[in-house]
Structure 1
Amino acid sequence: MLFSHQFFFTPLPTPAIVALFSFGALVLLWLLTQPKPVRPPVDLQRQSVGTKDGARRSALLKSNSLMAYYYDDARTLYEVFQRGLHVSGNGPCLGYRKPKQPYQWLTYKQVSNKAEFLGSALLHRGLKPAANQFIGIFAQNRPEWIISELACYTYSMVAIPLYDTLGPEALVFIIKKAEISTVICDKPDKAEILLSNSEKGLTPVLNTIILMDSFDSELKERGAKCSVELMIFGRACCAVPHLTFALLLCPLGDPKGAMLTHENVVADAAGFIKSLESTFSPVPDDVTISYLPLAHMFERVVQTVLYSSGARVGFFQGDVRLLTDDMKALKPTVFPVVPRILNRVYDKIQSGAQTPFQKRILNFAARMKHAEVKKGIIRNSSIWDKLIFQKVQLTMGGRVRVMVTGAAPISPPVLSFLRAALGCQIFEAYGQTECTAGCTFTMAGDWTAGHVGVPISCNIVKLVDVEEMNYFASNGEGEVLYVLL
């Protein structure tokens, strides 16, 4: 008996056949276009190494000698900036924009010159190039903030950030405690806050306010009545830079204060670069957006990393509601962020899937991308990116290569989802401003969530048991007893 080689089946509707083959083609294309994965620089089961007394250091280090700097010619913040000027070939440095306008750029040399002009003007007024000469900076993120800070570094003075979110009492406390005679601020309304304190006799040491924005004669006369001179931010006589070692002080509220050295900041930046060097090396073409408060060290260390490689920093317009518009114009490659921002991005993506079918497609695309991430494949060019995630990626400019989240814990499900959806490397860091920002950093190639990584290469960290919470240092859990830089 012969058997007929025929197949009996119920014909599928033509649209279903097209959909089936289209879906299969997408999966095949996804498989064929996967790039090489990011390989961890160390064994992920041994990311840190014990030193003594239960403390641990990064396994990236070959010995117990901690990093103090990354580049031999950049050991102070002044040298960091000068290195950026050299390696960039005097390329663009600080960018700013007006509403609905493209970014305009100051070159490294222009910024350096402006800092020298401002610093020499301060010396001309009798201020001293010394580690006990404190200059207040009371402003939102903008190029003049960095110029003011660099002016202090150029002439060995100390920059002290001030910010009004601490309240008027904290401003008074910091000015009196540090004996700040000169404050550089951005807008007349901040000058009015300072003058109000002077009029009440609360800050008798303050005698000079330098304003970045223009102001009227009425404000100048008001200052004169309480013996405070108002000046416009600009060019003055020039002097030879003093390259002696300077200090940096960061206010942490009333009544705390932390003195940080250039070595602290440079070492912390070196630790970040070391953590990323196997997968990301900053170059002059890189650009970051500055919107996180410069009064905190997270933003300052990120910028130090960028300046050391001759990269660019573009400032937001001053309104976080316009941040997306700024990012579309700037197209940053490095994006420092906080969980609050990432949670908004996550909610926006989720809310875009309004029907059950859209939600299934979104979740399927996220699972496919997350499967790549777990293998070390980080990209924004897959078919799932083009069909599902490209829109949200373009809201950040479409060129982000590295994101660093800090300042607060981020939900593991949110972090895992965004690592897939945004198509870039997202690292989580832990630290405090008084410890120069970063203390720990997640390892390249470790894309698990729910932890903040290991000590960066400039410090060691020791944990102690918290028995009542079942945290034991032997399990890699506990309270941070100390961080040693």
Structure 2
Amino acid sequence: MSSATALLQDSPAYLDSLLRKTSESVYDELDRAVPLPNTETPGHSPIYRNILSQDQLLDKPHTSLDTLYALFENAVKIHRHSPAFGKRSLLEDGTSFGPYEWESYDTIHKRRLNFGSGLLFALTHNQYRNAQHSIIDDHLRNPSSELIVTLFSHNRPEWVIADLATVAYSVTNTALYDTLGPSTSKYILQLTKSPVVVCSKEKLAKLIELKREHLQDLSQLICLVSMDPLNQNDSGDLTLINAAREMDIALYDFEQVEKLGEINPVAPIVPKPETIYTISFTSGTTGSVPKGVILSNANAVSAVTFILSKISLPYEPTVYCFLPLAHIYERATVLFGLSLGAQIGFPQSGSPASLMDDIKHLRPHILSLVPRVFTKLEAALKQITIYNDGNPVLKNLFGRAYAVKRDLQSQGDNCAGHHWFYDRICGLLRKKLGFDRVVSVTTGSAPISPNTIVFLRAILNMGFGQGYGLTETFAGICSSLKYEGEPGSCGAIAINAEIRIRELPNMNYFANDPEGPKGELLIRSPSVFSGYYKNEEETAKAFDEDGWFKTGDVAKVDKDTGRIYIIDRVKNFFKLAQGEYITPEKIENTYLARFPYLNQMYIHGDSYQTYLVAIVGVDPVSIVSWIQKTYKKSISDPKEIVAFLNELDHKKKFLQEMNSVTSKDLAGFEKVHNVELDIEPLTVEKNVITPTLKIKRPLAFKYFESNLKSLYEEGSILRPDQKL
């Protein structure tokens, strides 16, 4: 791999304006990748690079912008007086939130330096320090990655201010999140020896109790900083302060730390590209302890460069920071926004229920969300448009608008499907939702049905891209066209990365497949992590002998365009009794893509059986229409819907339709023969999916073991002779 270089060579101010003038034709060209000559080896495809970075990978927007610190300082110089962070406050009536209130880049710049200085002061002068806290003093003399600050809250300005502060002082950070559970939080705190957690107020009691239960393992935890105010005259707050003191923990609030820093300023400890920015712990799909992905400033800048190359935006765009900042997808989006001087709006609370209300007030230009959010939006919009039986006029109007826009947008790549009349109709809907300024809509973290993309981009008259990436690649390394003629790809590899395919003969995937190489996706890029924190064994497993990161995902690279399609997982395959290999993710994704009434699916096969069974989640809105259409029966209560669907004749009919629409895509042995239907059977709370909605197969099997056994006991409802 030739050495990476900067995307553009010019002054930061000129770069800031130039990035917004790049023509759309350049972005269209980015959606092609080409094989490099003479790079094919036995068992592997050629190396593929983006058509615009065949000679060199492009890993930074400018030679002087090679760290997150440099990116933010550059943005502050240009956008000093512009709005940076916005939040909504609860109104006096206590039932609703007011408009967004903003702090400028200059204010955030000062607060981040004050908080960083204050945090270092609070740690160096902490009365509960012991020998193991020498890393704090050592860091001030000789910065290293040993000093780690932990962040723990829902998305809010203080989270990002603390994040920016750690960057400014070359301190590594990590994050906890609720779905990890206390045992995993304890594991991360113990492993990283983090002396401080900056968190929202409701986490304080849990963290104090966690140390109480693990005094020896968490002896290094000596400081907590509440993002919310603490009042010593408040009995509840005083109880927290005293409880912390009993556990040898100094408890501050965010404002106190900022004041400490204002009084005791410390000059920034400017990071280098190789300075570790964060250790992002992935929840994983195996149910084992999470692995800490080590990501440097250089990794982060490379990720920002990728996004800069893919999105053309207005000056000082507005970004909605909705997905959890503890995950790398949202962090990459926010870092990208900060580099452009964007206005970043935060959710009113940690609940996803406020999403649409926030969007109406914020009217963002960028929306980066996950399939689960988009499928719920799809279901809700269908009910007020093409399924609106209560208003036949609107139903017919939007039905025609959808059909015309869908057909126009499906004529080929980059067809926006403009129509003089229906654009106005869809525009009214966009404005009502707060989508009227949206320029970029991207989904990632999990597969999405192409039908969802087709519907949303048509009914809302907007482009819709699907990206692919991992924590190990600092989020996205490719993203599809906004108007892909036939949605389904993740686009071509980005300008900052290169890929190749390792064939998997046991799974019938080959590098010389006539449709394009198929096999495990391997990646090399300046955005790829350096290793797993204190885990040499897993780090060694993650890379091959030539330094390629082994994603574990099975991909197809289109022979004509070089676009990437994620079609399976390497480890997720098993044999049925007749000896056929089954790859469940491929089958699940096929059903989800082809049958619009499905929201979730967990496929299971037993080596003693000749067929598959599944736990299926149906869309709670569209399934009502299916029942009405199929049985002329109106049911709206979720419990009644589930009971109705699981009656033998009804689920048989449902299953027959599922298999009918996938008849051209799945072999006979890949078809499901029995199902259990529910509204949302796979949830994070059940610990069967990750926060990014990937199935934890070992834990899902354990959770649904009795359900799956019952399905096999009932036998194939398609071939009733097949019983246990």
Q: Aligning the two structures, in what range does the TM-score lie when normalised by the shorter sequence?
A: 0.7 to 0.9
Amino acid at match of 1:83: N
**Helix, strand or coil at the partner of 2:326:** coil
Separation of aligned partners in 2, 1:111 and 1:75: 21
2:208 to 195, 203, 209: 195
**Helix, strand or coil at the partner of 1:257:** strand
Equivalent pair of 1:443/1:454 in contact (CA under 8 Å): no
Equivalent pair of 1:282/1:306 in contact (CA under 8 Å): no
**Helix, strand or coil at the partner of 1:305:** helix
Separation of aligned partners in 2, 1:479 and 1:311: 39
Separation of aligned partners in 1, 2:149 and 2:461: 42
Which of 221-230 and 233-242 deviates more?
233-242
Equivalent pair of 2:426/2:460 in contact (CA under 8 Å): no
Instruction: Report how many residues are paired.
Output: 444
Q: Structure 1, residues 330-389: CA drift from partner, whole Å, max 9, x if none?
A: 110111111111111211121123237755543321232234434635388852143356
Separation of aligned partners in 1, 2:115 and 2:503: 51
Q: Does 1:316 align with 2:352?
A: no
- 1:471 equivalent in structure 2: 509
Equivalent pair of 2:30/2:492 in contact (CA under 8 Å): no
2:68 to 77, 83, 88: 77
**Helix, strand or coil at the partner of 2:269:** coil
- 2:359 equivalent in structure 1: 327
- 2:464 equivalent in structure 1: 426
Separation of aligned partners in 2, 1:383 and 1:58: 41
Equivalent pair of 1:180/1:206 in contact (CA under 8 Å): yes
Equivalent pair of 2:313/2:439 in contact (CA under 8 Å): no
- 1:348 equivalent in structure 2: 380
2:191 to 177, 190, 206: 177
Amino acid at match of 1:299: E
Q: 1:160 to 1:390 in 2, by over 3 A?
A: same
Amino acid at match of 1:363: G
Separation of aligned partners in 2, 1:255 and 1:410: 25
Equivalent pair of 1:271/1:458 in contact (CA under 8 Å): yes
Amino acid at match of 1:169: S
2:268 to 241, 261, 276: 241
Q: Does 1:275 align with 2:306?
A: no
1:412 to 416, 441, 450: 450
**Helix, strand or coil at the partner of 1:222:** helix
Q: Structure 1, residues 131-176: CA drift from partner, whole Å, max 9, x if none?
A: 2210000111000000000110000101111112111111001001
Separation of aligned partners in 2, 1:76 and 1:383: 47
Q: Does 1:252 align with 2:252?
A: no
Separation of aligned partners in 2, 1:385 and 1:191: 50
Shift of 1:203: 1.4
**Helix, strand or coil at the partner of 1:258:** strand
Shift of 1:480: 3.1
Shift of 1:61: 2.2
Q: Does 1:302 align with 2:333?
A: yes
Shift of 1:41: 4.8
Amino acid at match of 2:365: T
**Helix, strand or coil at the partner of 1:85:** helix
- 2:226 equivalent in structure 1: 211
- 1:66 equivalent in structure 2: 57
**Helix, strand or coil at the partner of 2:166:** helix
Equivalent pair of 1:56/1:460 in contact (CA under 8 Å): yes
Separation of aligned partners in 2, 1:331 and 1:210: 32
2:297 to 239, 262, 269: 262
**Helix, strand or coil at the partner of 1:137:** strand
Amino acid at match of 1:336: S
Equivalent pair of 2:87/2:101 in contact (CA under 8 Å): yes
- 1:136 equivalent in structure 2: 150
Q: 1:60 to 1:424 in 2, by over 3 A?
A: farther
Q: 1:413 to 1:184 in 2, by over 3 A?
A: same
User: Matches of residues 152-163 of structure 1 in structure 2 within 5 Å?
Assistant: 152-163=166-177
**Helix, strand or coil at the partner of 1:366:** helix
**Gapped runs of 5+ residues in structure 2?**
1-22, 91-96, 125-135, 231-236, 284-288, 526-724
Amino acid at match of 1:149: D
Q: Does 1:49 align with 2:35?
A: yes
Separation of aligned partners in 1, 2:181 and 2:476: 26
Separation of aligned partners in 2, 1:142 and 1:199: 28
**Helix, strand or coil at the partner of 1:425:** coil
Separation of aligned partners in 2, 1:89 and 1:381: 41
Q: Does 1:230 align with 2:251?
A: yes
Q: Does 1:454 align with 2:440?
A: no
Q: 1:479 to 1:204 in 2, by over 3 A?
A: farther
Which of 291-300 and 64-73 deviates more?
64-73
Q: 1:260 to 1:46 in 2, by over 3 A?
A: closer
Q: Structure 1, residues 196-243: CA drift from partner, whole Å, max 9, x if none?
A: 111112411100001111231110100111101101112222111111
Separation of aligned partners in 2, 1:141 and 1:380: 37
Separation of aligned partners in 2, 1:107 and 1:46: 39
**Helix, strand or coil at the partner of 1:410:** coil
Separation of aligned partners in 2, 1:64 and 1:170: 44
Normalised TM-score (structure 1):
0.85
Equivalent pair of 2:49/2:499 in contact (CA under 8 Å): no
Q: Does 1:105 align with 2:132?
A: no
Q: 1:462 to 1:396 in 2, by over 3 A?
A: farther
Q: 1:303 to 1:382 in 2, by over 3 A?
A: farther
Q: 1:282 to 1:45 in 2, by over 3 A?
A: closer
Shift of 1:68: 1.6
Equivalent pair of 2:366/2:438 in contact (CA under 8 Å): yes
Normalised TM-score (structure 2):
0.58
Separation of aligned partners in 2, 1:232 and 1:44: 46
Q: 1:447 to 1:90 in 2, by over 3 A?
A: farther
Amino acid at match of 1:264: N
Separation of aligned partners in 2, 1:96 and 1:381: 37
Amino acid at match of 2:88: R
**Helix, strand or coil at the partner of 2:98:** coil
Which of 373-382 and 315-324 deviates more?
373-382
Q: 1:302 to 1:379 in 2, by over 3 A?
A: farther
Shift of 1:393: 4.7
- 2:321 equivalent in structure 1: 290
Separation of aligned partners in 2, 1:447 and 1:305: 27
Separation of aligned partners in 2, 1:426 and 1:290: 18
**Helix, strand or coil at the partner of 1:454:** coil
Amino acid at match of 2:295: L
Separation of aligned partners in 2, 1:145 and 1:93: 14
Separation of aligned partners in 2, 1:446 and 1:338: 18
Separation of aligned partners in 1, 2:208 and 2:420: 57
Amino acid at match of 1:197: L
Equivalent pair of 1:38/1:444 in contact (CA under 8 Å): no
Q: 1:419 to 1:477 in 2, by over 3 A?
A: farther
Which of 408-417 and 348-357 deviates more?
348-357
Separation of aligned partners in 2, 1:106 and 1:45: 37
Separation of aligned partners in 1, 2:510 and 2:491: 17
Separation of aligned partners in 2, 1:304 and 1:480: 30
**Helix, strand or coil at the partner of 1:251:** strand
Separation of aligned partners in 2, 1:45 and 1:93: 31
- 1:482 equivalent in structure 2: 522
Amino acid at match of 1:329: H
RCO higher in structure (CA 8 A, sep ≥6): 1
Separation of aligned partners in 1, 2:418 and 2:362: 18
- 2:403 equivalent in structure 1: 367
2:83 to 87, 92, 95: 92
- 2:180 equivalent in structure 1: 166
